[in-house]
Structure 1
Amino acid sequence: MFAAQQSAADRLARLTPHDDAERADVERIRSLIETAEDPWSRSLPLHITASAFIVHPGSGRVLLRWHKRHESWLLVGGHGDPGESDPLAIAVREGQEETGLSDLAPWPDAEIVHAAVVPVPASSREPAHDHADLRFVLATGHPDAVRPEHSDAPLRWLTPHEAHAAIDEANVRETLSRVEKLFAG
């Protein structure tokens, strides 16, 4: 389906940060990778996650998922399972689990589109922490096959303009802006 397994460090090495904020986030993520025994470990106050905007190139729409904990519309993604270390493979797995779409593939390529360190609020199960989120774009050819993972995690196909209006998080709007540029060619 996509290129051979690659580590977060290998994929991150090819990312050119767009601005000073992303440059600082990339440096924090690289430092985490260099110093942590397992940079994916949820026990760390900063750990790597992988996410993706799912797109339907034929209609120019993007898929958003409601995240109850954040009380906002976000992209799909999450944590690596034990033994996983390729952020793209993790983003694909998470995307399939959260949307029911079995045909997800990197689009237009398998590169990280955005790296962002994002705060995660505390919950009853864990303290507040940060995600070093490596973001991709995945495409589906079957948008009508989408099925939410849970009833409290609805999914919505939106135009990029509609998605900008629905998204509260500035870092997610930045990722969406990059996806819009990919649609434009």
Structure 2
Amino acid sequence: MLADALDRYRAADAAEESDVERVRALLAGPGDPWTRASPLHVTASALIVHPPSARVLLRWHERQRAWLHVGGHADDGETDPLAVALREGREETGLSDLAPWPDAGIVHVVIVPVNAKGDEPAHEHADVRLVLATATPDEARPERPSAPLRWLTVTDALAATGEPNLRETITRAARLMTPGG
């Protein structure tokens, strides 16, 4: 599933192509590429958008102390990045109508370093990113009080995050929401 999606995907530059190749190597190697036991493992995430208002939804991530998109680790047996992103999106926002937008294609692949915390060592996420849309933005509810949600214009979302890789994902989604983009 992921290998097929990567075959259809075109990286934007050499750095992203390198990240895509690292994901391909994970898929070709021994073991489960989605397992947290590996120092580099696949995760799936999404930028949630409301196309009619050209807004994006960001979530406060306590661990990273930053406004980020939704997503995370696969549950046991999950191997489809779209399924993981949809599940994580629903869990983290309460939005039940999330759907791939404008299609189910990958919009960004990036290797993200993750700092150690507690008994979890530092590791890397091979994050496969999609765009999901909702028609009911006012129904968004945080999964817990420490993880508030914010609907933002693209300009405000870019200002809210200092993460260059997320800024790139937001920029790519903005192009999709722009007529002729």
- Report the Cα distance in structure 2 between the residues aligned to 1:148 and 1:13, rounded to whole angstroms: 35
Q: CA deviation at 1:153?
A: 0.5
1:52 to 39, 46, 68: 46
2:44 is matched by which residue type in structure 1? Answer: A
2:27 is matched by which residue type in structure 1? Answer: I
Alignment size in residue pairs: 179
2:65 to 56, 71, 75: 71
The residue aligned with 2:75 is 81
- What fraction of aligned residue pairs are identical, expressed as a percent? 61
The residue aligned with 1:96 is 90
Query: Does 2:150 match 1:156?
Result: yes
Q: CA deviation at 1:11?
A: 1.1
1:142–1:31 Cα change, 3 Å: same
The residue aligned with 2:20 is 26
What does residue range 105-144 of structure 1 map to in structure 2 within 5 Å?
A: 105-144=99-138
Q: CA deviation at 1:44?
A: 0.2
1:29-60 Cα distance to aligned partner (Å, 9 max, x none): 10011003200000000000000000001111
2:52 is matched by which residue type in structure 1? Answer: G
Q: CA deviation at 1:69?
A: 0.6
Structure 2 alignment gaps of length 5 or more: none
Query: Does 2:145 match 1:145?
Result: no
Q: CA deviation at 1:164?
A: 0.3
1:165 to 156, 159, 163: 159
- Report the Cα distance in structure 2 between the residues aligned to 1:27 and 1:110, rounded to whole angstroms: 21
Q: CA deviation at 1:10?
A: 1.2
- Report the Cα distance in structure 2 between the residues aligned to 1:99 and 1:179, rounded to whole angstroms: 19
- Report the Cα distance in structure 1 between the residues aligned to 2:56 and 2:74, rounded to whole angstroms: 23
TM-score (structure 2 length as normaliser):
0.97
The residue aligned with 1:42 is 36
1:48-84 Cα distance to aligned partner (Å, 9 max, x none): 0000000001111000000011111110000000011
1:76 is matched by which residue type in structure 2? Answer: V
Deviating runs (4+, > 6 A) in structure 1?
none
Q: CA deviation at 1:125?
A: 3.3
Structure 1 alignment gaps of length 5 or more: 1-6
1:144-166 Cα distance to aligned partner (Å, 9 max, x none): 00000111110000000000000
